[in-house]
Amino acid sequence: MMDLPFDLPEVRGKLTRDRDLSGLTWMRVGGPADVLFQPADVEDLRDFLRALSPDVPVFAMGVGSNLIVRDGGLRGVVIRLGRGFNGVEISGDQVVAGAAALDAQVAKRAAAAGVDLAFLRTIPGSIGGAVRMNAGCYGAYLADVFVSAEAVLRDGSLVRLGAEDLKFQYRQSTLPEGAVLVSATLRGPLDTPEALEERMRVQLQKRDESQPTRDRTAGSTFRNPAGFSSTGRADDVMDLKAWKVIDNAGLRGARLGGAQMNEKHSNFLTNTGDATAADLEGLGEKVRKKVYEDSGIRLEWEIMRVGEPNSA
């Protein structure tokens, strides 16, 4: 184990050096982090970031459901929130959820209290990631129910962020560099628990029928193209589905090494068993190039890719 080029502060949580990250992502690929930090609570996180040299890069990682870590791993410190950050509190139509709380669990807890956050039930990942990516499905987005979030900044300060700070857009938001989301307050319409349970059941059934939920994927690979016009005229603008333009380019089932564009849903990049991060990202880039050649549409990644390629 090589010496780190930076000092590590004392913590109450857990610090692990040279931590393989592949097992922490849904794709099961990726190299090691120089350091993985799992803070005990918000104060532990604040103290750590305050004491850590500002030159050391920090990456906040959720449950890895929408992430490819490259084979060379991540330099600096990866922060992964756990048990001290997964609480859910409900009062009236408001839900305060820790950033590590799973989207599905938040949806179920809210439904039991008569608060409609049902769209979160089918979204993989945690609330922190949902805020970061403005997660959504079935026409609803995190931004629609967002009230505020708490985050620890790189200097250790704890701040409250509103929608005007995060500047929500389709499948993205804007966070200060190095900031770590620790909780979010959401507000949903009120309904009966029975109606919400039924709504979630129908959505789950619809998802399972159309998506490869049993395969090793990271959710949708590319954002749906928006505002595309084949003629340049405003009255010709249309929204397209990424899977459709991938199919039109003849890429359903396309492979590179152990990576494949899923046969069931072609916008799901899949690790068939022995893919490397390079296989997955390489196939994604080949798809982007072929779709552009075929239709003039530039697909944008929805999956976040981080880290360094394998030096070999």
Given 185, 208, 231, the domain boundary residue is 208
Find the distance separating the first CA and the last CA of the chain, reported in whole Å.
19
Q: Is 302 an active-site residue?
A: yes
Question: Same domain, yes or no, for 158 and 257?
Answer: no
Quote the tokens at residue 113: 């209290």
**Is residue 272 domain-resident?**
yes
Question: Same domain, yes or no, for 117 and 175?
Answer: yes
Question: Same domain, yes or no, for 104 and 134?
Answer: yes
Do 224 and 242 contact (CB within 8 A), yes or no? Answer: yes
Q: Exactly one of 46, 171, 216, 288 is catalytic; which is it? A: 171
pLDDT tens, residue order, the chain (312 aa): 668 989 999 999 999 999 999 999 999 999 999 999 999 999 999 999 999 999 999 999 999 999 999 999 999 999 999 999 999 999 999 999 999 999 999 999 999 999 999 999 999 999 999 999 999 988 899 999 999 999 999 999 999 999 999 999 988 999 998 999 999 999 999 999 999 999 999 999 999 999 999 999 999 999 999 754 343 334 433 468 999 999 999 999 999 999 999 999 999 999 999 999 999 999 999 999 999 999 999 999 999 999 999 876
Q: Is 171 an active-site residue?
A: yes
Given 208, 226, 244, the domain boundary residue is 208
Question: Same domain, yes or no, for 97 and 204?
Answer: yes
CATH code at position 22 = 3.30.43.10
Question: Same domain, yes or no, for 74 and 94?
Answer: no
Prediction pTM value: 0.91
CATH code at position 238 = 3.90.78.10
Q: Exactly one of 126, 132, 288, 302 is catalytic; which is it? A: 302
Find, among 63, 140, 42, the residue nearest to 304 by Cα. 63
Question: Same domain, yes or no, for 192 and 111?
Answer: yes
Question: Same domain, yes or no, for 110 and 167?
Answer: yes
DSSP-derived pairing of the beta strands 259-261 and 140-141: unpaired
Range of the structural domain that residue 120 is part of: 85-208
Quote the tokens at residue 15: 């610090």
Question: Same domain, yes or no, for 150 and 73?
Answer: no
Secondary structure class of 152 (helix, strand, coil)? strand
**Is residue 7 domain-resident?**
no
CATH code at position 178 = 3.30.465.10
- Number of compact structural domains in the chain: 3
Q: Exactly one of 173, 183, 220, 266 is catalytic; which is it? A: 220
Question: Same domain, yes or no, for 116 and 228?
Answer: no
Start-end of H helices in 41-94: 42-51
Torsion of CA 272, 275, 278, 284, to 10 degrees: 0
Given 83, 113, 135, the domain boundary residue is 83
